[in-house]
Amino acid sequence: MASGTVKVEIEGHVATMTVSRPEKLNALDLDMLKALSEAADEAEANAQVRVAILTGEGKGFSAGGDIKAWGGMRPEEFGHAWVRHGHRIFERLATLRVPLVAALNGHSLGGGLELAGVADIRIAEQQIKIGLPETGLGMVPGWSGTQRLVKRFGAQVVRRMALGGEIFTADEARALGIVDAVTTTGNAVEAAKVYAARIAARGPVALEVVKLMIASANGEDNGTAVEALGSILVAKTGDLKEGVAAFTEKRPVQFKGEW
């Protein structure tokens, strides 16, 4: 299936989401941000999906935000319609119920690296470059480059990219912990599928819960993680079933403290 400029293909337990604007190296605009959100919804709504892959069509993963999409915006419009909106979409992807593997088949710069940063696992092709060049344009990373990426990669690594303008090769990025594996050119998606199959073979409930636990330990939206875990636990109890039944039958509730 396709969702705007993001294609979604579900095969067995694996959903592959492909950003599809190859003529612009998959640079993101508002329509693509919306399509990414819809793709996440589609993958998550399918109960058979246990893991997702995020990649880009053609020679690029994502060149980040399309300057033509935001360059002419008024400051307040830029802050709300672009930065905050994109932030919400990226958070949606980062908190996907299933593990997410990014197949970096091309350069991941600026917003493209922030997009890669939402994934739980990153597999990069050997030829790609990684960095946060925004300050060279007189702007700052706006889609959690100084927030999520610091938590996941470390503050000093982000300083080197955002302050010093350093651009890393795939091998350098692996050594720094930005990517988890490096593969040959043209092989990132296949390598991601192999890794996704490895994840999908594990307990799906355990995967969902442990992803929330790790996010909480890493300081990523602790409130959501704690409430989600608590809600999942309570939803399986006899007390909740009794509460719902009593409400439906319009009778006094009789809790028994049953797990």
Task: Report, as an integer, the average pLDDT of 226-249.
Answer: 83
Q: What is the pLDDT of residue 233?
A: 80
- The answer to whether residue 9 is catalytic is no
- The yes-or-no verdict on residue 78 having pLDDT over 80 is no
pTM confidence score: 0.88
Q: Where are the alpha helices (DSSP H) in the chain?
A: 30-45, 67-70, 75-77, 85-94, 111-116, 148-153, 155-162, 170-175, 188-200, 204-217, 222-235, 238-249
Q: Are 123 and 188 in contact (CB under 8 A)?
A: yes
Q: Which of 85, 90, 10 is nearest to 45 (CA)?
A: 10
Q: What is the pLDDT of residue 73?
A: 64
Question: Which residue among 114, 125, 208, 220 is the active-site one?
Answer: 114
Question: Which residue among 42, 125, 134, 208 is the active-site one?
Answer: 134
What three-state secondary structure class fits 134?
helix
Helices vs. strands in the chain: H and E counts, helices first: 12, 10
- The yes-or-no verdict on residue 2 having pLDDT over 50 is no
Q: What is the pLDDT of residue 121?
A: 98
- The answer to whether residue 208 is catalytic is no
Letter for the amino acid at 202?
A: R
Digit-coded pLDDT (tens) for 238-254: 888 888 888 899 999 99
Q: Are 229 and 212 in contact (CB under 8 A)?
A: yes
CA angle 90, 95, 100 (to 5 degrees): 85
Q: What is the pLDDT of residue 126?
A: 97
What three-state secondary structure class fits 125?
strand
Q: What is the pLDDT of residue 71?
A: 61
Digit-coded pLDDT (tens) for 11-34: 999 999 999 888 888 888 888 888
Higher model confidence: residue 195 or residue 244? 195
Please, which pLDDT band fits residue 76 given cuts at 50, 70 and 90? Answer: confident
Whole-number percent of the chain with pLDDT over 90: 58
